[in-house]
Amino acid sequence: MDINIFTVFILAVFVGVEIITKVPPTLHTPLMSGSNAISGIAIVGAIISTKVGGELGTWLGFVAVILATVNVVGGFMVTDRMLKMFKKK
């Protein structure tokens, strides 16, 4: 493994830590939900793993794609619904 990949990780952690300072309580849930959708980035891995040689790997990848997609699509949509409601009020 390249050292830079590690550097990248560390810096990303710092960005993650610094990025959030104050969040009004009303936004706690939407923010959680939104970043949950982002954690659906696993879909990228899922897509890649469908190419993994064996059958088993491919099928696992397939299931992972479905689940990750649920996470991504559902996550962003639910977040948007929450925030819409928020606006109305």
x-marked contacts with a copy of itself along 6-45 as a string, rule CB under 8 A = -xx--xx-xx--xx-x------------------------
How many residues in the shown chain lie near another protein by CB under 8 A?
A: 83
Number of C-beta neighbours around residue 40 at 10 A:
19
Q: Choose the one of a copy of itself, another protein, none that binds residue 88, judging by a C-beta under 5 to 8 angstroms depending on kind.
A: none
Query: What track of x and - describes contact with another protein for positions 43 through 72 (by CB under 8 A)?
Result: xxxxxxxxxxxx-xxx-xxxxxxxxxxxxx
Contact 76, 34 (CB under 8 A): yes
Q: Which two tokens stand for residue 73?
A: 């699509």
Instruction: State how far the Cα of 14 lies from the Cα of 74, in Å rounded to an integer.
Output: 28
Sign of the Cα torsion 15, 38, 77, 29 reads negative
Binding site for a copy of itself (CB under 8 A): 2, 4-5, 7-8, 11-12, 14-15, 18-19, 21
